[in-house]
Amino acid sequence: MPDTSHAHWRTDRPAEGFYTTELPALPDRPVRTFLPTDYQPRYPYPLVVVFHQAGGSEETGARLLPRISRRNYLGLSLRGPHTDGRGFGWSDADPDWLTDYLLAAVEQTRRTYHVHSERVFLLGVGDGAAAAYRAGLRMADRVAGVVALNGLMPKPNGRPLFSLGAVRGLPVFIGHGVANPVVPYATAERDFRLLYAAGADVKLTGYPTSQKLHAHMLRDVNRWVMGGVTSGRGVLLRAY
């Protein structure tokens, strides 16, 4: 079924690059938007939402998007709520705060650009993987998939991270450096086993790197996301 709920998006063809998205109701939560090469306003684009690593920002997260693909997706990058002297981080981000931020950013972007509302993927790097997990597992019926790169699942924050059965069939891609000294590869294997036991459609791939992103990791993310786009799994991310 075509998505006509936001048919008032802009119909011109702005240039590829990075744009600031305003959230009038949440002025303290900035968003960076990545527009792909040869943006076609009538094509419903998949959306990749990035949660940056510790010490980064919405700008560093956005810079990751064209390294995955310059053409295939619209992208958003959010800013972690905590400062650590180098930048921002997601440690123990409040689930309600995180959900509100994510939904507001997605909805605002859909009002401006043509986003396929049933193809929203969450991608977290390092510390940001915990945020992607937290939001994605909490809204497993409303996201198309979760990508965790060199990170780990967070501990429950006053409530269960997910309910049994709720994540059944949820696509999850875990990419992890086998020599990661910060988050050992065994941690990624533990997360894989937990998600697999819960019924998620989870894939774990190791890469010859430490906590740094490997070029093949980003290549595989692109292939995995595009596989999810063409699989026909339909889920709608919007505020209930």
Instruction: Report how far residue 213's alpha carbon sits from residue 216's, in angstroms, rounded to the nearest whole number.
Output: 9
**What is d(CA 128, CA 50) in angstroms, rounded to the nearest whole number?**
8
Which of 127, 140, 137, 134 lies closest to 54, judged by CA?
A: 127
> pLDDT tens string for the chain (240 positions)?
244 455 567 888 888 899 988 898 888 899 999 999 999 999 999 999 999 999 999 999 999 999 999 999 999 999 999 998 889 999 889 999 999 999 999 999 999 999 998 899 999 999 999 999 999 999 999 999 999 999 999 987 767 788 777 899 999 999 999 999 999 999 999 999 999 999 999 999 999 999 999 999 999 999 999 998 876 554 444 443
| CA–CA dist 228, 223 (Å, integer) | 9
pLDDT number for residue 8: 66
Residue in the block written with tokens 């998007």: 65
DSSP letter for 208, please. S
3-state percent helix, strand, coil for the chain, nearest multiple of 5:
30, 25, 45
17-231 belongs to which homologous superfamily?
Alpha/Beta hydrolase fold, catalytic domain (3.40.50.1820)
Question: Does the predicted TM-score (pTM) go above 0.85?
Answer: yes
DSSP state of 188: H
203 beta partners: 173
